[in-house]
Amino acid sequence: MAAPSGAASCEDFAEFQELLRVMRTIDDRIVHELNTTIPTASFVGKVDAGQTCKELYESLMDAHTSRERIIKNCIAQTSSIVKTLREEREKAQDDIALLKQLRKEQTKV
């Protein structure tokens, strides 16, 4: 079960959460994955359990690496936006819309 490889959009938080939910599928189904990976007694000689377990492990590691990369990327993007908005806020302290945007981005982080 491979993780989605598309670039994550950090703009829409709900979309980002949905992407993470989809990427967690392999973790959420780990019991099922293990049950289908490890052969039963009747299939022990027909399936290489070591190889299938290795493939499952690699799938898990790929999924975790992808998730971590996307999360860190979105944190960096949003932090950059927060920094820019803070700088703008210092110049225009009376701008309520700017303050609301800053708070929204801070909440995302």
Query: Where do we find the tokens 């359990």?
Result: 49
Residue 64 pLDDT? 93
Q: Residue 90 in contact with residue 74, Cβ under 8 Å?
A: no
At position 37, the amino acid (one-letter code) is: T
Query: Where do we find the tokens 């992808």?
Result: 66
Residue 4 lies in a domain: no
Residue 33 pLDDT? 82
Residue 63 lies in a domain: yes
Residue 6 lies in a domain: no
Domain range for 80: 13-107
- Tens place of pLDDT for every residue, the chain, 109 residues? 444 444 567 888 888 888 899 888 888 888 888 877 776 766 666 667 788 889 889 989 999 999 999 999 999 999 999 999 999 989 888 889 999 999 999 888 8
Residue 5 lies in a domain: no
Task: Tell which residue, 52, 45, 104, has the closest CA to residue 78.
Answer: 104
Residue 66 pLDDT? 92
Residue 29 pLDDT? 87
Residue 2 pLDDT? 42
Residue 8 pLDDT? 61
Residue 87 lies in a domain: yes
For the chain, what is the domain count? 1
Residue 2 lies in a domain: no
Residue 36 lies in a domain: yes
Residue 6 pLDDT? 46
Residue 8 lies in a domain: no
* 3-state DSSP assignment of residue 92: coil
